[in-house]
A and B are shown apart, each in its own frame.
Chain A
């Protein structure tokens, strides 16, 4: 990936991530979040992590963000006109955030600056190499995770299910009245 593209996509990701926080309208925040996810995904694809990049678009940008949109509609979130809360709360909140940032910087920054970047072998991050790893070295973990997810899906369906007999709208209406 050419450096100018890398810098451009990185800047786009940071600006849109800022937009998520700064926007007052929740739907605009969501749009900014999609832009962040997309630019990070394209960065992944450009750095040969093709599968991770496409899966990020399919799963996060394509499916989970739609769920977020539905939740925003369902809760009927409105545009925030002003920050809520006491003045002291805002002051100490900002102070705590600044402290956290400084702390994180001192913990993370030096080690990251010392990292030696290495070129991965060709084909690293492609679907074939990922599938090979998943179905040989990490087969048990992969299968257990998939069973766990299946159990979660079945469980959520069982919890959300209406009692039998109320499925029919006519019956439900009669019960309600």
Chain B
């Protein structure tokens, strides 16, 4: 009992650290990756010792973005505007960050491992109703944004908050429908079992990943997830050219940093969800419990512990790749107009999601996979 409790606590902390580190990576990619995409140099000034510069190495901006920027933000003055609701103004950033951080715990990041005779599943919380938990916590993220805009006593902030609330409520529906069709296809709400069902191959070479089972749901979750994390092309709530900075116009210092962190953490969460539902989570293609079964028929034995570790590495690689993909989308597309955003959500994604749910139901009943 105690070893399970300790392992659970360690796994939960690991997941939150993973989320924070992915956010830091996304911050780096936001600065330097965007520079690469837009043919700029990007941040290249700050060094600690100056040794690399003297040796003629290019400055990759790592210290700039991952140390200097956060330190600058957290040491700035924390300003609360006159007429603002002080209590709610301080509470809002944490209300925004908290639901994202607690959602990480249901994401399975590996198969089970055995330590001293105990089998430990590599997910912080093995919930039977994991998908319901996801939908519940993601739905709570809207309060931090809405209350931040309201409590700032600023019209731009309030407009941004209203936009954010309407957008997140609209796209939550499409997101829910995409997740519903996935759980119908796999017949379980448990995320670890969904990942387990994606092991194995079709036709001897094609991994049984969710993207081949539910391609439409993948597109829906990708678009709705990008909209939920309020990134370009869905960054209407904080569009600089119209609303200054949207709902966090009146935030400075550490609280603003928390809002930026929330955006990146949501992006990392979307990448994790896409990995879990559509890219086989921790499944490595052609890797079974005893080793690789390559398409040609060759078998490569791998020890059990290495299989588990390879799974964790595969999960991380997939998540980072999807994070980079989402970042590239962010720096490629222009921003939607507000009516286009609403039309896409309600007239495009929601009907497609409903059709997908119906089709999935027909296929599930027709193939007789009803328990």
Contacts and interface: CB of A to CB of B under 8 A. Distances in A.
Given A51-B132, A54-B132, A127-B129, A66 B165 contact: yes
Interface string A105-129: 0000000000000000000001100
Contact of A66 (B85, B132, B151, B169): B169
Contacts of A31: 88, 91, 147
A61 B165 CA distance: 14
B146 interface: yes
A34 B128 CA distance: 25
Nearest to B143: A34
A126 B147 contact: no
A127 B189 contact: yes
Interface in A21-70: 25, 27-28, 31, 34, 50-51, 54-55, 57-58, 61-63, 65-66, 69-70
Contacts, number: 62
B212 to A, nearest CB: 26
B162 interface: yes
A27 B137 CA distance: 21
Contacts of B140: 57, 61-62
Contacts of A55: 132
B136 A57 contact: yes
A146 B146 CA distance: 30
A55 B358 CA distance: 22
Contacts of A126: 128-129
Nearest to B95: A31
Nearest to B165: A66
A142 interface: no
Interface string A1-34: 0000000000000000000000001011001001
A62 B172 CA distance: 10
Contacts of B135: 54, 58
B150 interface: yes
Contacts of A57: 136-137, 139-140
A101 B199 CA distance: 60
Contact of B128 (A27, A50, A58, A70): A50
19 contacts: A27-B150, A28-B87, A28-B88, A31-B88, A31-B147, A34-B143, A50-B129, A50-B132, A51-B129, A54-B132, A54-B135, A61-B140, A63-B139, A66-B146, A66-B165, A69-B146, A73-B162, A127-B132, A127-B189
Question: 3 shortest A-B CB distances, which residue pairs?
Answer: A62-B139, A57-B136, A54-B132
